[in-house]
Structure 1
Amino acid sequence: MSSSDRQSIVLAKILIAEDSPTQAQRLRYFLEQQGYEVRVVGNGRLALAEAAQFRPGLLISDVVMPEMDGYDLTRRFKADPALARIPVILVTTMSDPDDVIRGLACGADGFILKPYEERYLLGRVQYMLLNHEFGATENSGMGVEIFFNGQRHYITAGRLQILNLLLSTYDAAIQRNKELGQIRDTLERRSAEVAAANLFLDSVIENMPNLVFIKDAVDLRYVRWNRAGEALLGHARDAVVGKRDRDIYPRELADHFTAQDREVLTHGTALDIREEAVQTRDKGIRMLHTKKVLVPDGLGRPGHLLGISEDVTEQREMEREIRKLNTELQERAKHLEAVNKDLESFSYSASHDLRSPLSVIGGYVGLLEKRYAGQLDQTGLEYLSTIRSNVKLMSQLIYDLLAFSRCSQQTIASADLDMNQLVHGVVQEVLQGYPVGKTPRLSVGPLPPASADPGLLRQVWMNLLSNAVKYSGKSPNPEIEVSGRTEGGEIVYSVQDNGAGFSMEHYPKLFEVFERLHGAGEFEGSGVGLAIVHRVVTRHGGRVWAQSKPHAGAVFHFSLPAGRS
């Protein structure tokens, strides 16, 4: 293309006749971007009026327009000596072969097929503008009469005009074939994808462990029946597909299934049948958990009904057995609770009643020592001392049993506790009366607050700290450390000493009543203190544990729920 040709194209004016504002503005924008001066009108009548003033170098017209269509507009253009030399391109879908004959008859110079590629349109525009002068010198008065589709047409057009129109038609045909080829390729690809998806779906349905069935929504005939259904109910696929429930099951059961299906199809909501007894051919009566859902067609209407059934026979039997066992356990728990209450009541009464005779025994031992000590030899005095010691031990045991019983029966009255204040008060009480110079070094770190029963928690701290002082008493430099921290949902408190410690092989019986890990000759005690600690803490929803080694001290921990603070 020469520089003068390019210049003439750049300076050309183009008139567009298009009744669609969207299409018109799109075409106008594209051509203006290429350097053309563009005017747009909405129909053929306005195009004729605008052409007289605008004097375009090219007319691009839609075929279908109100008031005056593209063929009539072209015919009038070519009939007007002032406009006849202006090339005309018609934009059409070219859905009818008659469009070519009508284009020749009206004198159009070319076609552009909708939808068009912008590069193709630009090429046609440039071609028409470059060949405009050559076409204008050709004799256009030659006429020819042709018959097509049973009709007679008289064509008056120049050879170049006819050639251009035929080339446009040929290009349009090539473009349409290209589009059809692309559509065919897309359809083949989509068909392959659909086939692969169907194959995958078939594989999923066939390999599901549960019965899967599909019925058509019209007369509820089975269209799918998977392998699990054959194994579960004993009905072969060939004996089910194409049949209705009445052809397979007893009438009453079939009517029941049909009513369910109609409910799903009518309301469009899923139906969940948690338990349903179904008679099988080989396995007797089985309990099925079935879900049924509506599968709509492409228009949103009921197309199919999908059902999935799971054999829950064993599961339901286990559930019934579990419910039976739970009922029995609840009855046993009630019985044990009553027995425990009786035992606690007996323990409390017995302990309380034993205090009186012990007080009498202790009193008489005192009288014997006071009045008759001079008449007794050394052995007799030792007997009295042994009696007095055992009375004291028995009294302590009874006191501890009463305390243990009270902490088991007492209602918990929780309150927000300043644990630092509570522990410091207990420390003063524990160390009160301790020989001067032998007081253990006892440090208390910052302790998180908690919500608990003040009296019961005071008993916990009293027992733990008393034990720490007692079992570290034989150490050269007894040390006791109290600490606290928050871990997740728990508040953990710890009491650590450097005393006698114990072997962890005896740990399982550490918190049991009357269990002692040291002999009575080594350390005094009844073996109830740690049992009280365990009972109080667990009643508060916490836990107790310990670590120790013989002669290396021990650390006791207990926790309370953090949410209670």
Structure 2
Amino acid sequence: MERISATVTSTTAAPAGTPATASSRTGRGLLSVRVSLARTAGFAVVYALALLAGRMTVIDGSGMALVWPAAGVAVVWFCVQRHARTRWVDVCALSLIALAGNVATGVAVPAGVVLAAANLVQAVVFVWLLGRWRPTLWGADGNARLSAPRDLAYLLAVTVVAAAAAASAAFGLTGLWLAAAPMSWLVAAEWMARQVASIFVVGTTGLWFGPAISGFQARHGSLAGWWQATDKALRAMPAWRVAEYLAVALCSTVAYLMGFVFDHGLPLAFPLIALTVWAAVRLRTSFLVLHHLIFGAAAMLFTLHGEGPMAAVADPHLRAMTAQAYVVLISAIGLALALGRDERITLMAELTRQKEEQTRHAAMMSAVIDSMADGLSLVDADGQVVLRNPAGVRLLGPAGAMHDVQPRVHHLDGSPVTAQTLPPARALAGEKVDPIDLLFTDPDGRDGRILRVSATPLPGCDGTRNAVVLYHDVTVERRHRDQLATFAGAVAHDLQSPLTTVEGWSEAAADALDGDQPAIGLARDGMNRVTRAAVRMRGLINDLLAYTSARDADLNLTQVDLTAMVGDIAAGRADTAAAAGQPVPQVALGRLHPVLADSGAVRQLLENLIGNAIKYTDPAATPHVRVTSTHSGGFVQVTVADNGIGIPAGQHEAIFDNFHRAHPGAAYAGTGLGLAICHRIVTRHGGTIHAGDNPGGGARFTFTLPAADPISAPTDANAAPRAVVTAPETAATRQHTNHASTVAAPARFAA
């Protein structure tokens, strides 16, 4: 018996957070032992009385007891003491009481030993099987009552296996044969029927009321508290319900008297099943359990005294088996009906709770959707709008069909949107539509508003696909942005005009101030300062215009040849450095994968990254820039690495903020907008960009852009990078070299 004999930690452990000293643990251990021994003593007394009662029901001429309530008491006893620290005391007490009781009532000592062993093993097997098959029940490893017919079926199976296999077959029958007791198949069947009936009826009663008794102290505190709770429940019970309980009790008493005492030889036991059904269907299960226990015992007593239909059976063994089968049948039918009713009530209560919860959830979701400032529509697989919140009705009108809205939808350039390219239609086709700005006109076609529309596929319960569409009114936002862009363009234009004048006159004044006088030299220095300030202001204005364009301008997506574009940018940077007398940058690149992007935006992105790589290099060193790409998951990842001064620690993310300069000071001039422009260009294309340290020194920038047609990807993309020829030519041939590099660039990079 692995569960009964296993060492189990005491259930009276210290509460969490309380230091468990040796003395406190000892005190609690002694208390646990005392409680366990007190339970053992109580069950021992009850078991002894049940054994004596069973021995008093021995049928004349058979030597077998009609009932054996001690078997039911034993299984309840061992269930209660399942995890007790003194289980060995329970085993010894049961064995000794069984042996003494049988011997004292006339059973021979060898047979008494066998019967005691049979009762012990029977109880052990019952507890072990119950813990294996229904561990959640009280008496196993849980605290639950019998709650469904399935639990009753398992309990009956445990009872049969424990009584027949473990006790009767293994010990009772073999032991009685060795003790030279009279044996037959009828005796064996009567033995097992008696054990099954006793365990099932008495054990069911104990397992049903066990949770209530074990939790009595926690719920009521004392008998006075229990009486108050019971009195309150009775007073709250309707009078007709009390009358029904009394009617069932009275009718059962009269029916059993009529069926067993005043039957006049008629088989009047079968109408008693109707009373069992009445009690099981209408009354509480606790009442039914007591009903079965009381009237089952009455049926046995009537049969024992020769009253009732079962007493008419001449063979004493068949008489006992018939009576026991009747009690088990009545108990099983009643409990199955009652537990089925309880399970149905529990399920209905759970369904009602879930329905109420779903109703509250639906009401909350409806309130949330109705309170949204953005419009929301749900479009079914047929293109019908089945749901539209108040904001959606305000923006688009009442719900209807998707094709009713299509003629009123246009792109921002005025071109119509076809039915197949509507965001709901694309979502119904399985595509997730990112936010896109569209122009929606009124039904009369005059006034319109710009809505930012996104759509998401929503699988339906029946296997169809629906679409959830969100609408956000950006009309005012677009108007303000257009006004701001117009204002910025006008301001930039107005600022460039005086700047041009300042630059021109500064250059003219510098040319006029030609001489060696100190005053002229001072004036020339001042004019140079004015010129440099004008150049810086022009750079700031150009960067602001570029940032505005990168943020707001519409993208014209085409296939961009990055190899040719980087080569052209590298050649231009080389010419600029050579003209300025600076070290010519060395740019190495392989065959880069083409991307699907706006060509002008990508050129600006690469100009900024390559320009930064060249600018932020030690003046005494030659800039080395390496540009590579990889293709993965529909995107092209481009890496620009340099040998420059690198990025200060902790600024790898901040450098993409507006007006952030990682190297402030006169040594490296700038406005702090270049990388912000790069970040905006990449994110508008759906890609990412981040900065890191180059393992060989310097910085490394990596960004992703949507890949073009995979068929057009270079076959030698993994080839070693080639250096772009950027060495300066002589002054006499520079113009020809520049022209040749521009014209021959595609052929050179295709090699």
TM interval, shorter chain, is 0.3 to 0.5
Q: TM-score, normalised by structure 1?
A: 0.44
Larger helix fraction of residues: 2
Larger strand fraction of residues: 1
Q: TM-score, normalised by structure 2?
A: 0.34
Looking at CA atoms only, which structure, 1 or 2, has the larger radius of gyration? 1
Quick one: higher RCO (CA 8 Å, sep 6+), 1 or 2? 2
